[in-house]
């Protein structure tokens, strides 16, 4: 009986903690164009660190996206031997420290595709990467179907991406799914829909193992090829659409 009561108390406490959280920001993509008070476009091939640091093939433009029926749709294309896509961030405009951060998205498919929903530390321009920290809430690469990657990059671990989890979902390409983190001062837990897939909670927290004590900004992009997504790209798959229904942040 005592064990049952203890279990109920723990469950009620967790539920109460969820109730206390408030929706502090959401993006529902209901306008005709992206609101540049919230979003930045990152353009071109990533020079001077060309290929965006990963030998990616795409040029990012302002024209490879549209807002339609409350969805952000990023389209990857190939035309005249040039690959194009779109990459957006909230750097300097919408930055967050702790909370539940989630996206509802539908994935593109095909060899060479690399969509992601991720975060970078707000101090990246002063301390650089990976010192600033990176949170990859969702990465998917078309050459490995039915698989979701959740990863953290820190000064201590970026070389081998040891803070990572690869999880198989046989129907992840079908319809929309929710990708989220629950981020506190102690840990970051990753979710796909209602499934907890990975928790990062290093026993020693310092600037090299835990840069997650500051604000981070959001990034959404669809890369093509690169060290992770490629190197082989199936040109017959284009165009491919990466569709985002909403983003929500609770604190």
* H or E segment and range at residue 20: helix 2-20
CB 225 within 8 A of CB 238: no
Catalytic residue chosen out of the listed positions 31, 36, 139, 207: 139
Could you give the C-alpha distances from 187 to 139, 151, 194, 202, 210, in angstroms and in order?
20, 13, 18, 8, 9
Does residue 189 have an active-site annotation? no
Does residue 33 have an active-site annotation? no
Catalytic residue chosen out of the listed positions 27, 56, 102, 134: 134
CB 216 within 8 A of CB 169: no
Could you give the C-alpha distances from 38 to 34, 52, 203, in angstroms and in order?
8, 22, 35
Tell me the C-alpha distance between 35 and 58, whole Å: 24
For strand 87-89 and strand 82-85, is the pairing parallel, antiparallel, or unpaired?
A: unpaired
Active-site residue numbers? 134, 139
């Amino acid at each position: 009986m005592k064990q049952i009561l203890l279990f109920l108390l723990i469950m009620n406490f967790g539920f109460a903690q969820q109730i206390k959280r408030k929706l502090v920001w959401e993006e529902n993509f209901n306008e005709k164009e992206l609101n540049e008070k919230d979003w930045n476009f990152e353009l071109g091939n990533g020079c001077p660190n060309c290929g965006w640091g990963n030998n990616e093939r795409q040029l990012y433009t302002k024209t490879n996206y549209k807002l339609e029926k409350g969805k952000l749709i990023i389209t990857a294309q190939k035309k005249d031997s040039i690959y194009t896509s779109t990459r957006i961030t909230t750097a300097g405009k919408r930055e967050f420290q702790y909370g539940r951060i989630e996206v509802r998205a539908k994935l593109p498919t095909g060899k060479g595709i690399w969509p992601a929903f991720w975060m970078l530390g707000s101090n990246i321009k002063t301390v650089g990467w990976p010192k600033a920290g990176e949170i990859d809430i969702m990465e998917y690469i078309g050459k490995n179907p039915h698989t979701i990657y959740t990863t953290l990059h820190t000064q201590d671990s970026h070389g081998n991406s040891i803070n990572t989890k690869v999880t198989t979902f046989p129907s992840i390409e079908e319809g929309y799914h929710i990708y989220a983190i629950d981020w506190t001062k102690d840990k970051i837990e990753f979710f796909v829909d209602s499934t907890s897939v990975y928790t990062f909670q290093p026993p020693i927290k310092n600037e090299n193992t835990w840069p997650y004590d500051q604000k981070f900004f959001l990034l959404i992009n669809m890369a093509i090829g690169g060290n992770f997504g490629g190197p082989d790209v199936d040109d017959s798959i284009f165009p491919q659409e990466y569709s985002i229904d909403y983003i929500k942040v609770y604190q």
